[in-house]
Amino acid sequence: MHLRSERLADGVALLTLDNPDQRNAMSDEMTSAWVEAVEELAADREVRVVVVTGEGTAFCSGGNTSWIASEPDASVDSLRARMEPFYRAWLSVRRLQVPTIAAVNGPAIGAGLCLALACDIRYAAASARLGAPFVKLGMHPGMAATHLLPDVVGAAHARELLLTGRLVDADEALRIGLVSQVFADDTFADDVLAVARGVAATAPIASRYTKVALADGGHRDFETALRWEALAQPATLATADLQEGVRASREKRRPTFTGQ
């Protein structure tokens, strides 16, 4: 099905794009499997963090554009009817209430970059390259690139990347904020999973509320943020996890949160 979905220990789920012969391009089979996997993760209350990565040397080379080139007479309406469900299928990862991490182990190109952008956090292997070369293929950006990229790197960097279509290496991606950290290739998977386990160990209710607050770049004005936090923080103060967190801090131990 071109996708592997695994439940690891400590509440970590791993989704691996598994189409290495095509550099993990988003095949129809992979797309269907992705929708099913995200639905299952959304219903699994044991999952506390989701990591997305690619099999082999690539993260994701983007959508399979061969069908577009093979249908030169397709109408705008028929293409739109196919593209919008495709976008929504892959961007469904944004609906997950738990934190999501893109482990960019290799090239993340076009729609593949947008998948990484749809995750909450991005880490890159040292050899990774990232970019959205839509205009170099003669097409407008898709997969919400014109929203996701400015949201992550700011308008100026987004304009430059989308209008030139150029790729950036891992170090530049770190410099412009496209990724949060770069890890060595040979330890990349272990390093990202270590971070994921740390995220999974945080209080689940507080983590979910924080993700909601940060959606689409966070609250756009001070008063909205203040009103939200005046409601959300008391909601977490009323949890058993808060009491456990305070006890653990006093006892100088790691807390064990239950999501209650």
What is the secondary structure of 27-72 as a DSSP string? -HHHHHHHHHHHHHHHH-TT--EEEEEESTT-SB--B-THHHHT-T
How does pLDDT run across 228-252, given as a tens digit for each residue? 999 999 999 999 999 999 999 999 9
Q: What pLDDT does residue 218 have?
A: 85
Spell out, as residue ranges, where the chain has pLDDT lower than 70: 67-70
Tokens 């936090």 -> residue: 229
DSSP 105: -
Q: What pLDDT does residue 139 have?
A: 92
How does pLDDT run across 195-212, given as a tens digit for each residue? 999 999 999 999 999 999
CA–CA gap between residue 94 and residue 2 (Å, rounded): 21
For residue 221, give both structure tokens. 């004005």
Pairing of strands 12-17, 49-54: parallel
- Quote the pTM value: 0.95
Q: What pLDDT does residue 99 have?
A: 98
